[in-house]
Amino acid sequence: MSILVNQDTRLMVQGITGNEGLFHSQQMLEYGTNIVAGVTPGKGGEWVLDGKVPVFDSVSIAANARGANASVIFVPARFAPDAIFEAADAGIQMIVCITEGIPVQDMMRVRNYLDQKGVRLVGPNCPGLLTPGEAKVGIIPGDIAIPGNVGVVSRSGTLTYEVLYALKLVDIGVTTCVGIGGDPVNGTNFIDVLGMFEADPYTEQVVLIGEIGGTDEEKAAEFITSQMTKPVIAFIAGQTAPPGKRMGHAGAIVEGGEGLAADKIKALESAGVRVAKHPEEIAELIK
Amino acid sequence: MKLQEYQSKQYFAKFGVPIPKGRVAVTAAEAKQIAEELGGRVVIKSQVLVGGRGKAGGIRLAKSPKEAEDLATQILGMEIKGLPVRKVLVDEAANIETEIYLGITNDRAARKPVIMASAAGGVDIEEVARQTPEKIIKVHIDPLLGLRDYQARDLAARIDLPRDNWRTFNQIAHGLWEAYKASDANLAEINPLVITTDMRLLALDGKMVLDDNALFRHPELAEMRDRDVEVEAETEARKYGLSYIQLDGEIGCMVNGAGLAMATMDIIKLFGGEPANFLDIGGGASAEKVAAALRIILQDPNVKVVLFNIFGGITRGDEVARGILTSLEEVKPDVPMITRLVGTNAEEGRQILAEADMITAETLVSAAQKAVAATQGGQA
């Protein structure tokens, strides 16, 4: 049915009283996500969203009081690493960080700490998770995807929406959509999610949306060759991007001859992946 | 963001890295005076943010203050790879025995910093990495533990550094690590780190690339940004929170989201056009932001067509459409405009834009085809 998020997710929202946090909490609630608590230091004791969600001063107080098993983070970049550490130390096992603009060195410390604790982080700089018909964690618009048997994993935001929407128009549904984010160092990589989709009995095919920068797509290609039986369809953005320039996402840069779209496409194709020439073609390749 | 050589070396020196005596000059007279203070034999080094300064004649040895003045006059009048030389660094000349390489950077695949050393210093290290990767010794640093003494010793031993220099090398490696950490650098590099004829270690050149996302912690470093290396429009875009990169095609693009913006450029190319830019307007496209983006796209005289590709998710299509309308009234563009609005409230958005003189498209493919046709003077 899904990976990472479903009806049993008991979600906490860090930064729930901020503009973005509040808006997206409302959207998640309307979609059916079970939001059990919010956290904003200094606002503990308040209730938000028509009195539906209690706010706590810290993650550990909230987790103890409400039994959250996942957290989504909407706090600004300069406070976000601390928010991730706080959630991990409070025993939250799955953290989704939406925040864009976290310094890379902070993320290297975060990632190495979380790996030692065995805590899953999705993001940062990502749109989050959507399991159509069940729950969403993050900012992916709920109405652009329908339930089905295609797993989607992507480094992008609106480009992912574009693909979900193109699938919906031809009645192709999705088990779970995972936005892993556009930063150079993040919590969850393509191969982590590919492994989960391979193990999920309801996922029959997988769509991978990559972009220039780094070598995660090449690693995904190796993983697909050695570990996957399910068909994978891919799209790689940034074929026309000039080297040495960051294309919006902190991680989308070709440098030192590494991270070229052409190399990624070649690696994926030699792993038997069908690579679409443009996003709308993905829906055709799935049918 | 890159720092100049003199800025990088001064920063390293704060962390105990030995650098040559020297100062920056903006006039030849100053260069002469600095050379006199340093005893006459100096190196005049152009301060521009490009590689290959030496080959371009931007680094010269002067044997006297008079020669320093003459060379500084020449170099300060130069352009290197299109960048004007506004400053020269006047450094005491060193007597070099050996040149080595030492650098720390982010290894994104390993999710850890990596410290690299090589006995083949003084040359383009990327070239060394391509031709003879075994000559570069790499050691990953646990970001939670920091650089350990044994790691620095291991590097020294593996590049066959003379044992007499190990202690200083260890200090320099730690200094570089502290500098990298304190500045939130993506790269902190000494190339070359030289052993002088009297067996001292000295950082002759320095390079730092800082993480733009961390500049909020380093206002004093952020001020050092060199505007010469950036297209003016890119600086202007940053003020509005827009991510803009100028290219040399004819089709201007305004897109929400970086991945979708890249995909839009790609599909233009796929159908035979050339994108004029990358532009991500981000979320919540207000009229003010859209207008700024449109002005920035149109300042490029090569732009013959503008393509708007907006996926309404959280940002609603009708809001974006109103933003586009307002910006059109303000900017009054005289090139054909193609709009593609999809997703939340796209229909309402399309109705709003129906009043404007715009070509509309439903799919990404047809939007790209219409944009390419419009550059050829036709209506698709």
Task: Tell me the chain A residues in contact with residue B265 when contact means C-beta distances shorter than 8 Å.
Answer: 240-241
Token pair in block for residue A7? 């009806």
Nearest to A57 by CA among A45, A47, A67, A74: A45
**pLDDT higher than threshold 70 for residue B378:** no
Cβ-defined contact of A159 to B265 (cutoff 8 Å): no
How far does the CA of residue B66 sit from the closest CA of chain A (Å)?
40
Between CA B58 and CA A101 the distance in angstroms is 36
pLDDT of residue B284: 66
Token pair in block for residue B347? 């229909």
Cβ-defined contact of B258 to A247 (cutoff 8 Å): yes
Q: Are B103 and B189 in contact (CB under 8 A)?
A: yes
* CA nearest to A101 within chain B: B213
Between CA B75 and CA B77 the distance in angstroms is 5
Nearest to A215 among B109, B245, B343 (CB): B109
Mean pLDDT for B187-200 is 96
Four-CA torsion B139, B145, B148, B150, nearest 10 degrees: -70
Q: State whether residue A67 sits within 8 Å of chain B by CB.
A: no
Residue type, B307: L
Between CA B57 and CA B45 the distance in angstroms is 9
What phi and psi, each to the nearest 5 degrees, are found at residue A121? Answer: -120, 135
How far does the CA of residue A8 sit from the closest CA of chain B (Å)?
25
CA distances from A252 to B68, B188, B205, B252 (A): 43, 21, 29, 20
**pLDDT higher than threshold 90 for residue B40:** no
Summarised one tens digit per residue, pLDDT across range B24-33 is 999 999 999 9
Between CA B234 and CA B222 the distance in angstroms is 16
More confident residue, B40 or A65: A65
Task: Tell me the chain B residues in contact with residue A214 when contact means C-beta distances shorter than 8 Å.
Answer: 108-109
How far does the CA of residue A65 sit from the closest CA of chain B (Å)?
31
Reply yes or no on whether B150 is catalytic: no
Nearest to B88 by CA among B41, B13, B15, B32: B32
**Over chain A, what is the mean pLDDT?**
95
Residues 90-149, chain A: which have Cβ within 8 Å of B?
101-109, 111-113, 139-141, 143-144
Task: Tell me the chain B residues in contact with residue A212 when contact means C-beta distances shorter than 8 Å.
Answer: 262
Summarised one tens digit per residue, pLDDT across range A168-211 is 999 999 999 999 999 999 999 999 999 999 999 999 999 999 99
- Beta-carbon contacts of residue A135 (< 8 Å; ≥ 6 apart): A5, A6, A7, A9, A11, A28, A31, A32, A33, A34
DSSP H or E stretch at residue B340: strand B337-343
Task: Classify A280 as helix, strand or coil.
Answer: coil
| Number of helical (H) and strand (E) elements in chain A, helices listed first | 9, 14
* CA nearest to B128 within chain A: A256
Q: Interface pTM (ipTM) of the complex?
A: 0.94
**pLDDT higher than threshold 60 for residue B379:** no
Summarised one tens digit per residue, pLDDT across range B110-128 is 999 999 999 998 877 878 8
For residue B356, how many other CB atoms are within 10 A of its CB?
Answer: 14
DSSP H or E stretch at residue A171: none
What phi and psi, each to the nearest 5 degrees, are found at residue A128? Answer: 95, -150
8-state DSSP, A241: P
Task: Classify B298 as helix, strand or coil.
Answer: helix
User: What percentage of chain B has pLDDT greater than the value 70?
Assistant: 98
* CA nearest to B255 within chain A: A158
How far does the CA of residue B63 sit from the closest CA of chain A (Å)?
37
Between CA A276 and CA B4 the distance in angstroms is 42
Nearest to B245 by CA among B211, B276, B214: B276
Task: Tell me the chain A residues in contact with residue B186 when contact means C-beta distances shorter than 8 Å.
Answer: 104
How far does the CA of residue B62 sit from the closest CA of chain A (Å)?
34
Task: Classify B339 as helix, strand or coil.
Answer: strand
Summarised one tens digit per residue, pLDDT across range A13-33 is 999 999 899 999 999 999 999
**Over chain B, what is the mean pLDDT?**
92
Residue B324's pLDDT band (cuts 50, 70, 90): confident
Q: State whether residue A156 sits within 8 Å of chain B by CB.
A: yes
Q: State whether residue A277 sits within 8 Å of chain B by CB.
A: yes
Identify the burial level of B37 via C-beta atoms within 10 angstroms of its C-beta, where 0-12 means exposed, 13-18 middle and 19 or more buried. Answer: middle
Matching residue, tokens 């690579």: A275
More confident residue, A5 or B277: B277
Cβ-defined contact of A112 to B143 (cutoff 8 Å): yes
For an interface test with A, which of B216, B314, B344 has the most A Cβ atoms less than 10 Å from its Cβ?
Answer: B314
**pLDDT higher than threshold 70 for residue A35:** yes
Mean pLDDT for B45-53 is 92
Q: State whether residue A280 sits within 8 Å of chain B by CB.
A: yes
Mean pLDDT for B59-69 is 96
3-state secondary structure labels for all residues of A123-138: CCCCCEEEECCCEEEE
Between CA B332 and CA A130 the distance in angstroms is 41
pLDDT of residue A1: 65
pLDDT of residue B380: 44
pTM of the model: 0.94
